[in-house]
Structure 1
């Protein structure tokens, strides 16, 4: 039986998870369509977060968390991309990754670098789970490895999640 006092925390966490997923989708959209951060943020907040789109229901998300990730990645991308590049192997430059994988890694690295209030294990776990929603094979393991390497470098700790 669950503790009734913990439901608020679970709901809060679920809204942050939904915000992370929406931020990854928005970053992908910006990368592929070339749309700007303000236009994309407005679209997601007005028409996607917590709404039904083409028969698919977007989970209710923490809009403030969504905005923070999206604008944070855009504002810090020139710092984030080299950090990701350093965590990849030499034969896998960032440009070789598809747009979805780049969006996942950029959002995860942003949180590792700028959100010290969020534990490494939570960040890694959330973004590995997002990768699993899009990929079945090696990509979730790559997300785990890259975020773990970045966590060791920027926070001095790493706690990768089993991506198998």
Structure 2
């Protein structure tokens, strides 16, 4: 199963953003195809990450600029902590809007971001939120980025409350 292709690519030369785009795609593929995260990471590293001189942008889900180490770390962290991430998401989502009701790409994005927000404070939570909002704008044209912003802010308050206290 192919991961979703991006509508509008994230600016080239941003390998950390590319890693986040690829992590969302990989988590989507893992869930939809029932493939293990490790198998999907291997597929992405071999076939989907890095430049392809014949193509520009992000055709067929290819991510030409991606920090491969960050990509693998994010996918593994999301897979390892999926129960804790999903529990936190369930707490911040409206009771009549369960996680399973979300668009699967949006669910993958929130899981990847949740995994990153669970990590120590590098990068700062504002950077993480802004990065995933850029990614959300690449995948969605509607209200999903605004929705993601609210959910990510709530997750950040749970996982990194001390950063909010510092201002």
TM-score w.r.t. structure 1 length? Answer: 0.83
1:103 equivalent to 2:114? Answer no
The yes-or-no answer on 1:140 pairing with 2:145 is yes
Larger displacement relative to structure 2 (148-157 or 28-37) = 148-157
Moved over 6 A (4+): none
Aligned to 2:33: 33
Pick 1 or 2: higher relative contact order, CA cutoff 8 A, min separation 6. Answer: 2
Quote the Cα distance in structure 2 between the aligned partners of 1:53 and 1:80: 37
Q: Give me the CA root mean square deviation.
A: 1.9
User: TM-score with structure 2 length normalisation?
Assistant: 0.82
Deviation at 1:136?
1.2
Q: CA deviation at 1:54?
A: 9.4
Structure 2: tracts of 5 or more residues without a match: 1-11
Return the alpha-carbon distance in structure 2 between the equivalents of residues 59 and 35 of structure 1.
23
Determine which of 51, 62, 69 is the counterpart of 2:67.
62
Segments of 5+ residues of structure 1 without an aligned counterpart are 1-9, 159-164
Tell me: CA distance 1:54–1:137, structure 2 relative to 1, closer, same or farther (3 Å): farther
In structure 1, the residue matched to 2:48 is 48
Aligned residues: 147
3-state SS of paired residue (2:81): helix
